[in-house]
């Protein structure tokens, strides 16, 4: 992928964590990171693997792009069902 910021070639990889990755909209970081109903889940949920998300990294301008295309349906189904627990 070509970086939309500087035009250099980006490196494909993964962002991985020991915990689920969330984007908490407009909120300050918390001591214990967790998502709530307004959060966007960035990583794939799995009971057997560490959470991760596919990303592209630009070493030129040090930007990371996360493409959530194709993962949105899975997250919405999980969120919808998890509210019933």
In a domain, 38, yes or no: yes
In a domain, 73, yes or no: yes
Domain that holds residue 48: 11-82
pTM for this predicted structure: 0.64
**Residue-by-residue DSSP string for 32-58:** S----TT-EE-S---SSS--EEEEEEE
Q: What is the rounded average pLDDT of the residues 1-17?
A: 93
> Count of domains in the chain?
1
Q: Please state the length of the chain.
A: 85
In a domain, 72, yes or no: yes
In a domain, 4, yes or no: no
User: What are the distances in angstroms from CA 34 to CA 1, 12, 37, 83, 84?
Assistant: 31, 26, 10, 15, 18
Q: Is the pLDDT confidence value at 72 over 50?
A: no
Q: What is residue 73's three-state secondary structure? A: helix
Q: What is the rounded average pLDDT of the residues 69-73?
A: 52
Q: pLDDT, tens digit, for every residue of 38-67?
A: 778 888 777 788 888 899 999 999 999 998
In a domain, 5, yes or no: no
In a domain, 1, yes or no: no
């Amino acid at each position: 992928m070509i970086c939309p910021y500087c035009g250099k070639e980006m490196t494909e990889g993964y962002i991985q964590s020991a915990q689920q990755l969330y984007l908490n909209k407009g909120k300050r970081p918390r001591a214990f990171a967790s998502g709530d109903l307004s959060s966007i889940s960035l990583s794939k949920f799995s009971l057997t693997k560490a959470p991760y998300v596919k990303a592209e990294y630009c070493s030129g301008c040090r930007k990371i792009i996360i493409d959530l295309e194709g993962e949105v349906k899975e997250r919405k189904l999980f969120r919808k069902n998890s509210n019933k627990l």
